[in-house]
Structure 1
Amino acid sequence: MGKYFGTDGVRGKANEDLTLDMAIRIGQYLGWYYGKNRPAKILVGKDTRLSGDMFEAGLAAGATSTGADVYLLGACPTPAVSYLVNKDRFDCGIMVSASHNPYYDNGIKVFDHNGQKMDEEVLLEIEKYIDHEIELPLATGDHIGEYFDWSDGLEIYMSWLKSIVPVDLNGMKIAVDLANGSATSTAVETLSSLGATVEAIANSPNGLNINLKCGSTHPEELVRVMKENDYDIGLAFDGDADRLIAVNSDGDLINGDYVLYICSKYLKEINHLNKNMVVTTVMANLGLYKALDANKIDYIQTAVGDKYVFEEMQKNDYYLGGEQSGHIIFYENAVTGDGLLTALKLLEVMKKTGKSLQELSEGLFIYPQLLKNVEVKDKNEVLNDPGLKELIASINKKLDSDGRILVRPSGTEPLIRVMVEAKTDELCKNYVDEVVTYIQERGF
């Protein structure tokens, strides 16, 4: 990770941590970098938060000032940018979004010509340009670029989704929580066109209400809707629609671990789980691993972050991977998580098997899990402490095969994250508190 770009782009409070000048200079660098032999062709999308227009304009102005032609997709899912960059041969794509964060945050994610996250070497050069360590020539005369409205790109994206998962949804009743975000541009139209009856909540973005008590991180209202009405499935997206949390007809949450379980079992049954492998992060629930073992499905763990999941999948051509948060990658079809694609895949399993989400979830017991963060001065000093290592080993021995403890550093903050899975909530609390108390009492 660099000074500004983390594992998921630049992110921070609009006009405080992430400034308009930064957006302009990111656009300028990319316009110059890809325009050395001909005018660069750059795609820009955004979610629905208030500052999106400002950063979209800044990126477009910067890129056109160094000679690029910029196509504005408007409010759209992040995976739409990823797909269209590759499909329509753009040099790169830029998404203005802070994902599941509140409206006052924003972010800038950059994709290469394959629709994958930009190489770190390029991002580090962009950072140098942001900090005025290097300067670039601006275009003049007839070399200055133009920008164009390209909202038609969303139709191409939705048609693609329906072509790769051509599931007949006639007779399906679906409730969707669109997080007042990017999914408002595609989800209802796509699901309805496949025959489903769709009812939407959090479907009126005003720039301030994205992710506000709604979406995949706050699905409480969707759970209530599912409990009080007769829907087959509920679908909750995050702000930029690259994640999905589902809800069954009883109002129970179906997170990413459930999705990996359901889809891997189905893909194995139809002989389409390449190399019999599922890619997870270390935060996946212990119950998922036990359920995969019971079904003779192999799995591999990566560090936390969809970036690492994708790298493992790409390296070994694995078809299915993802995170508990609902960021699922179907590598045969896409190079990033896509909430709507995940929804269609789940619906396809339901239709093809004739089973409800409850039936499809049978065999998976999710262990109670508790995570606490501890603020520290030096993360490495804490993790290398012999006494802490001994304590962790002791807890692991007590948990044996019926639980686990994971103590890891935050990638972006001065925090140690302590997570325990065990058979009961009480055990989780006792062991987490034991580790947290140890760290705090020793003044780390």
Structure 2
Amino acid sequence: ETISLPLLFQIIGEPIALVKDKQEEIIGYIRREDVLVELFKQENRHSFDLLKIILTSIPMGIFVVDQERKIVNCNDSGIKMMKTIREDVINKSAKTLFNSEHIDTVFSSNETILNELEITDKTSVLVDYSPITNFNQKVEGVLIIVQDLPMVEKMAMEIEHIKNLNKDLNAILSTIYDEILVVNNKGELIRYSDSFISEFWRRDLKDFIGKNLIDLEDKGLFSPSVTRLVIEHKKKVSIVQETDNGKKILAVGNPIFDEKGKIERIIIASRDITETTKLKTELREIKKITNQYKQELDTFKSKNKVFEKLIYCSSKMERVVEQINKISNFSSTVLISGESGVGKEVIAQAIHQLGSRSNQPFLKLNCGAIPENLLESELFGYTQGSFTGADKNGKVGYFKKADQGILFLDEIG
């Protein structure tokens, strides 16, 4: 078909031409040789002008050979690469510059010959031979495309460098424990690492190449979709995905933006945490049981310390100790009576040590040694300036100091 002139052809250093519309959006591609051959076959002025522009701008050398094997047109790049001048080329036999056998083969077989290395005393080039055919597929000429070897070598080195980078990337991906997915801005899977969670996908991941991962959430395979959340929020997202078969997957999605700030790719790293979650739950239960055992052990230790101080053998003392064990875990006011020196403070300490408040304060206040007018301030404290001679910073009372613990009021009578 005739090539539409409003389209812009961007000829690049590969054997294709990208086709763009007026908005600079790529809408397809066509072989480089086919573009030029088609233009050569058109005879209108617009095509001629466009052909002239293309010939001038193309970095490769272009030579057009007619049926008489003469060069009828070429560009400046071709002249420079072949180290000659236009006067020595135009309307001269192409066989003086290029391989005559290849030219004859193209005319006879209507086939393209690519990547022929041709080295002379003056030049070292890579040459492509393409037929120019009419509507009846009869060869009317040959299009010869020349590339300078240093340029080709540079391209080859760049390709080799890219191949090495690709090998390194694949090696890195194959050693990563996490599952790595590469998704485009539409949510479609492009590629994945060797380590993928088969129980999560339930199929080979290659079956999902080109498929939209957001649709899998709608189908109930898992929830929520990290791809959808990254596209919606346009930032890094970390979530725990749950499947309908009970799998738990920690998924981290990182957006990759282009120069315009739009999402170009999404890199998703996923890890199966089903067993980890189960182990955490079991560990939490074990810690709970361990704490219970620790509390019981601490209680036994406290009892041993208490009973080391309590030395008795009478049945009455046995009943007292039983009462201590009963009341020690309750917030009750306890009255301990007895003559001076019988060990009332030891009993109070035993209640403190055997109870659940053993790690809280135990304070003793000898009420008999405090004047009556100071008892209130000692028990309840006072603020600054409450009375003459009061501490300027105030004072906290014994009830406040012993909060959550035990206050032993000795000689309360």
Q: TM-score range by the shorter chain?
A: under 0.3
Superposition TM-score, scaled by structure 1 size: 0.21
Greater relative CO (CA pairs within 8 A, separation 6+): 1
Higher relative strand content: 2
**Quick check: which has more Rg, 1 or 2?**
2
